[in-house]
Amino acid sequence: MDSREITTLHLAFDAMVQLWPDSDVEFWFARDLQDALEYTEWRNFQKVIAKARTSCENAGIEIADHFVDVNKMVEIGSGSKRSVDDVVLTRYACYLIAQNGDPRKEPIAFAQSYFAVQTRKQEVIEERILFQERLRARRKLRESETELSKNIYERGVDDRGFGRIRSKGDAALFGGKTTGQMKSRMGVPKSRPLADFLPTITITAKNLATEITNFNVRRSDMRGEAAITTEHVQNNASVRGVLEERGIRPEELPPEEDLKKLERRVKSDEKRLIQQSELPSSSNGPPPVAQLQSDSDPAEDEGQD
């Protein structure tokens, strides 16, 4: 997601922000958020809201403090009106909805960061989007390496053999530098995975090489450490070749901040988000709907998400 796309989404999401009457607490209408997150049908978006409510409950948070069901009269043409359902959402509720949405949709990937931070400064949101992309890449690599470990174990290679295969793959990707040498160069503790300190591009490269190895090991039913090592080294060397063609040498890229520290910071931000986004006196119900303004179109659109 580039800066121009982020700017466009930033303006669109800022335009939806509401203030609870007689307070400075922000809230959003679900039907406004539905459109912004590119869900064409209300019934499909209600499923995401339901998952978000469950996430809220599982976290031990009072649902009524963050999700308030409302009904309102809206114009449907020719001066006539009808009642529609809507939900008043706190920032935390919106965050949970984004977390339960499809991150392949750019508006949802943006929303996951937009609602996670109290400030709406674009540079802060952009920084968090970059972190989320790096975290997703790391999770994919962890999954593909776990699969590789299982695949080669079934083919006669033990844990030590897996470590040797992965290290030789790293050497092919990093221009001859072993995993240990890269850790030393980047200042990574010996007990920590190198991947937790790599930039997104390198994590993605490692994952691609590992995915190719998994595919070919299964397809060709490779057996033994030697054959699988050759396969993994070739795949890492091929991926390195692509990067070099674009002027990227993985071993020369600077280390990134420890992902574990970033994850702890995210959890801390989430706790703050919960505390600061509760609706005032939500236990007594929302204020009259007439006091809450929404520009959403209640019409049930055709099509699927």
CA distances from 99 to 8, 51, 95, 279 (A): 21, 10, 6, 20
For residue 219, what pLDDT is reported? 94
For residue 264, what pLDDT is reported? 84
For residue 303, what pLDDT is reported? 44
Could you tell me the pTM of the whole model? Answer: 0.71
CA distances from 50 to 63, 89, 91 (A): 11, 12, 16
Using alpha carbons, select from 37, 42, 28 the residue that is nearest to residue 108.
37
Mean of pLDDT values over 224-252? 96
**pLDDT tens figures, 126-184:** 788 888 889 889 999 999 999 999 999 998 899 899 999 999 999 999 999 999 999 99
Higher pLDDT, 282 or 188: 188
pLDDT band at 302 (very low <50, low <70, confident <90, very high): very low
Whether the per-residue pLDDT at 77 is higher than 60: the answer is: yes
Whether the per-residue pLDDT at 301 is higher than 50: the answer is: no
Using alpha carbons, select from 222, 214, 96, 223 the residue that is nearest to residue 156.
223
- The distance between the two most distant Cα atoms of the chain, rounded to a whole number of Å, is 77
Domain regions of the chain by residue span: 3-120+278-291, 132-261
As given in the structure block, the two tokens for residue 209 are 């090489």
pLDDT band at 291 (very low <50, low <70, confident <90, very high): low
**pLDDT tens figures, 191-225:** 999 999 999 999 999 999 999 999 999 999 999 99
